[in-house]
Chain A
Amino acid sequence: MENRPLEYDYTVAKWFMLTTVVLGIVGMLVGVILAWQMAFPAVNLMAGEGLAEYTNFSRLRPLHTDSVIFGFTLSGIWATWYYVGQRVLKVSMAESKFLMVLAKLHFFIYLLVVVAVVGSLLLGISTGKEYADFEWPIDIAVVVVWVIWGMSIFGLIGIRREKSLYISIWYYIATFLGIAMLYLFNNMEIPTYFASGGIGAWYHSVSMYSGTNDALVQWWYGHNAVAFGFTVPIVAMIYYFLPKESGQAVYSYKLSLLAFWGLMFVYLWAGGHHLIYSTVPDWMQTMGSVFSVVLILPSWGSAINMLLTMKGEWQQVASSPLIKFMILASTFYMFSTLEGPIQAIKSVNALAHFTDWIVGHVHDGVLGWVAFMIMAALFHMAPRVYKREIYSKSLMNTQFWIQTLGVVLYFTSMWIAGITQGMMWRAHDEFGNLAYSFIDTVTVLHPYYTIRAVGGTLYLVGMFLFAYNMYKTMTSSRRVEESELQNASPMGA
């Protein structure tokens, strides 16, 4: 009995893989629509005047951000959790009926939340806080989903065979705790229907915090939701999938320790960089700025650890598209975590804040790092959960290059747009008057908005290739034996 290899149960992992792909396409499709709307405002009326309320930029924008964050990324995190968790803890989900039921509950309540979110955002039901737009009934459902996930993590840890927790598990635990704390505190709100004795909309609520306090809590949340949604769990993935796929051991345990605890300690302080030159006290702005720069250390610690893991095996980058995705992800992680601190320097922030440069920064991070890593993880998982080889290697390569080109077009155009607009806002003529009216600084951006929309569209095309490749892998690819699934994933031509 003990000598037989464990049969892992990937039922729930498969479900979350599916929502990762579907919600990724939905979220990015909406993003592409937004990009074209900014270049050509007529796109706001794409479904006619009657539906304009639901297709215009402002109503769709939260749908884009929330579906890529809470749809695509969260699904990816959970798909990998229900795969990686079992394997590094050396315990199968099938061993515990309780954990299995919990995991299924996790998935179905999550689906309900997704439906509620899409519906309410389209109707304009929103608390008004970015990435925390959901009204209180949805918030409660989110908390339920989160608690279930926590029980699943600690339940699986509780029955583990491998006593020592692998690096990835550290990061999953941190994701769980970090988001739990942030989400709870930022969404403290009072339902007005109950407080007023039954007047008005039942779902409406009012924030517990006002003005500057609300801004502080919101950006402590907003910044760190990025930390614990876009960084920490993605690092969990790369620490598992890169060594697995390449067959190389993680370069340095000590470096991973330093990077992990450094990230935990430093990240939370940096939220203040969203509020530079605002009405929060100056010392907090400075703290936000300084800690953002310090944040380069733990971020680069992980990234360098990953790159050095490939030491002596760099030919794999050329030969395997899967390794390509992960190495580019790691590189974009370094790039993005250098760009962020630069933007957090006060004098740079004075120029960059409120401009498209920030949008560019977010997207080189999420498209280049987060999405590439999630897709690589799914590619690695597919042969192991479906027992079939990846359908097409050449399609993967095509996807890689189309999407890389898309990201490059995206961030370069947004750099130029952001810096151009920032410079024009502050330009004075020889008499000390403002040199440009606001609209001058908008019309000048048209070419960059168009280039960005093209870049985004390319990325979306890559997403469709990804979905097709995954679908074929699931349904009609060559079946593989367990012996083929050691390290490098088997791929068809």
Chain B
Amino acid sequence: MFHWLEKHPFFFAVAIFVTIAFAGLIEILPNFAQASQPVVGTKPYTTLELAGRHVYIKNNCMGCHSQLIRPFKSETDRYGHYSLSGEYAYDRPFLWGSKRTGPDLMRVGNYRTTDWHENHMKDPAAVVPGSIMPAYRWMFKNAADIDTAYAEQITVNKVFKTPYNTEIPMADGTKATVPLAATVDEAKAAALVEAKVIAADMKDQDVKDAVAAGQIPEIVAIIAYLNSLK
């Protein structure tokens, strides 16, 4: 059979394809519907949080920080409850990372604050002596891309039925709704309201001035995102 295949390239290629394809079919497909169900309390991202998530991706934070707490005592002691599949239901892409040069950030919103992040992003080693993380001072100057974040919200709402403007059950029995703005301008206005809350906790005068003038620097967006990780 093999000798015959080696003289018939077309069938040879088909044989290879079948051999390599079915592992994926068996391993990946069966889990698809189940794995995309959110757990109680998992909300889609607001426009500002999503813009912050884009800043996180733009600067490849996941190159050094995981967002996946494994079910070991040493990990739950350090980072909090181990990760559940449904908590990632609205993560496109997933940001688990593959290397922990810095600590896990899955629940960083539980134990770090806006001003901690502000100081840390400006000069990591001043906050954590010995840190090898580079500073991210350009985030204080660059403007966050709210438009693209809003475009992504519309896309996931339309294509994947991500539940914006929908009541979502919370762990404490209440309901929460994440609004989806009707226009870009509305989305920007809503993001600015969120940004003002963050900026109020910050010390950098340039950032405060920018937000007061209606702009949203990247640092504000990424802090909004990091604060949402719980």
Contacts and interface: CB of A to CB of B under 8 A. Distances in A.
Given A58-B60, A154-B9, A268-B20, A214 B137 contact: no
Nearest to A40: B132
Interface string B53-81: 00001111111101010111111011000
Contacts of B202: none
A424 to B, nearest CB: 10
B168 interface: no
Contacts, number: 255
Nearest to B98: A130
Interface in B121-180: 125, 128-138, 145, 147-152, 154-156, 158-160
B12 A206 contact: no
A241 interface: no
Given A200-B149, A213-B36, A215-B94, A268 B23 contact: yes
Contacts of B16: 170, 173-174, 177, 264
B92 A206 contact: yes
B2 A257 contact: yes
A272 B27 CA distance: 9
- Tell me what chain B mostly uses at the interface: helix, strand, loop, or mixed: helix
B60 A126 contact: yes
Interface stretch (B99-107, B190-198, B203-211, B220-228): B99-107
B182 interface: no
Interface string B35-60: 11000000000000000000001111
A58 B154 contact: no
A127 B93 contact: yes
Interface in A441-460: 442-443
Contacts of A280: 31, 35, 85
B84 A214 contact: no
A178 B23 contact: no
A207 B92 contact: yes
Number of chain B interface residues as a range = 35 or more
A130 B216 CA distance: 28
Interface in A411-449: 425-428, 433-434, 438-439, 442-443
A49 B137 CA distance: 9
Contacts of A257: 2
Contacts of A261: 2, 19
A200 B145 contact: yes
Interface of B: 2-3, 6-7, 9, 12-13, 16-17, 19-21, 23-24, 27-28, 31-32, 35-36, 57-64, 66, 68, 70-75, 77-78, 83-103, 125, 128-138, 145, 147-152, 154-156, 158-160, 184
Contact of A58 (B23, B70, B100, B134): B134
A52 B12 contact: no
Interface string A199-211: 1110010110111
Given A195-B154, A442-B131, 20 more contacts: A41-B133, A58-B59, A125-B58, A165-B9, A170-B6, A173-B12, A177-B17, A181-B21, A196-B151, A197-B154, A201-B148, A210-B88, A211-B36, A257-B2, A261-B2, A264-B20, A265-B20, A279-B83, A354-B66, A443-B130
A480 interface: no
A201 B145 contact: yes
Given A264-B16, A268-B24, A61 B132 contact: no
A359 interface: yes
Interface in A173-231: 173-174, 177-178, 181, 185, 190, 192-193, 195-197, 199-201, 204, 206-207, 209-218, 220
A443 B101 CA distance: 11
Interface string A93-131: 000000000000000000000000000000011111110
A220 B205 CA distance: 47
A426 B12 contact: no
